[in-house]
Amino acid sequence: MTKNISSIFGNRSGYSGRILAGPYSVALKKNLVSSIAHFEALEQVGSPIIPYIAAWLPEDGGHIWYEYAGARLHALFGFHTSEVAVALRDNILTRCLYRIQKNPPAIDKIIRDKAQIERLRETMRRMAERGGGVDAVYKIAVNGGQLWLKDLARIEIHDQDRVVLSYGTLIDVTKEMQLEEALVEMQDQLEFHKENLEFLVEERSRELKKSQLDVLARLAHAAAFRDGGTGAHIKRLSQYSAILGRSCGLTRNANTVLFHAVPMHDVGKLGIADAILQKQGSLSPDEFEIIKTHCQVGAELLSEGRSSLLQVAQTIALTHHERWDGSGYPHGLTDRKIPLASRITSICDVFDALTSERPYKKAWSFEDAVDEIWRLRKIYFDPSLVDLFVKDIPRIRKVYQGAPQG
């Protein structure tokens, strides 16, 4: 059996695990050989994942060894399979878990440092056994630098052989985690500005007001960036909303507030994980439920502000996905129970989304998008506002033609 697996590895490093040469069942050994061959084939075709198979004895305090570690892992650290466990343990800096909190809806990020990992190592191993898998991100020191590896593993407990196997894959998510850290730092800065917003409003100076708008604009751009949007989308959305707001009778001051508040409608997406927010293809029901929480997250982020701008922005963030027929979220509001600012934003946001190209879809034509807005009249949208939107088509078209798509 050991000879067969050595032929799979060729001259690279050979087999250095324990199970194939140890007192374990033939069924377990055959399963292990098959899995190693499958992982080796993945590496041969250039798969970006880094496969591994770890093992430990339940009664041995969770001492871990590796039955298989991919060639990319060898190259990354410069060690042999038998040294993987020690090298990883010595070089791990942090371990990060993402957990969905249902009440109130949120995504918790739990970070353990090196000392905590060492102290809780056996506990985490037992949790993996009970849960049947691992989904974590590790920050690792490598060659004087740092990288992040996402660990996705399936746990198998073999009671007959009294051994536990972890079939896992590591994915390099360094760029994504660096971006997340930058966004967290930005959000901390924005929270600081938010806490001081009351002072800025009371001063009512032109310079402080400009600072307030700059902070909110950065917040809106950060949210758009997370969702694959651009500043052009925010600019068009503000202009479309101001056109419709003026047509429905808003005062000049109220329309100015609407213009600056609308870009913050999706600020809550800062709290949604990239894996869900930037997923290619359809979302699962559970993932869509997580996406829906961005309304409450955005409203909370913008809460407690005394300025009319923040109050309107909070209202829009919370209710811009409500629908005229009550089919929206988060509260299932109907018709005029939905705030006017949100009814305006909803029409303009959907229109701009339809006419914008995204990685997962092509842009609709201007005419098709207008037809879709009309089709959703009395279903998603306030019929009187849709009528005004259609009357405003000449001005809407000028904005559409004049701003970059994105």
| Whole-number pLDDT of residue 232 | 79
The answer to whether the beta carbons of residues 236 and 265 sit under 8 Å apart is no
Show the low-confidence residues of the chain (pLDDT under 50): 6, 9-13, 81, 200, 208, 404-406
pTM, whole model, 2 decimals?
0.48
Domains of the chain: 2-172 (3.30.450.20), 176-402 (1.10.3210.10)
**Cα(213)–Cα(140) distance, integer angstroms:** 39
**Predicted local distance difference test score (pLDDT) of residue 351:** 96
Helix (H) or strand (E) holding 272: none
Those residues whose C-beta lies under 8 Å from the C-beta of residue 342, and which sit 6 or more positions away, are 315, 316, 318, 319, 320, 322
Residue 10's pLDDT is 46
Q: What is the pLDDT of residue 394?
A: 95
3-state secondary structure of 248: coil
Pick the closest to residue 96 from 79, 82, 116 (CA basis). 116
In this prediction, residue 405 carries a pLDDT of 47
- Estimate to the nearest angstrom the gap between the alpha carbon of 184 and the chain centroid: 13
pLDDT of 155 reads: 93
Phi, psi dihedral angles at 144 (to 5 degrees): 80, -5
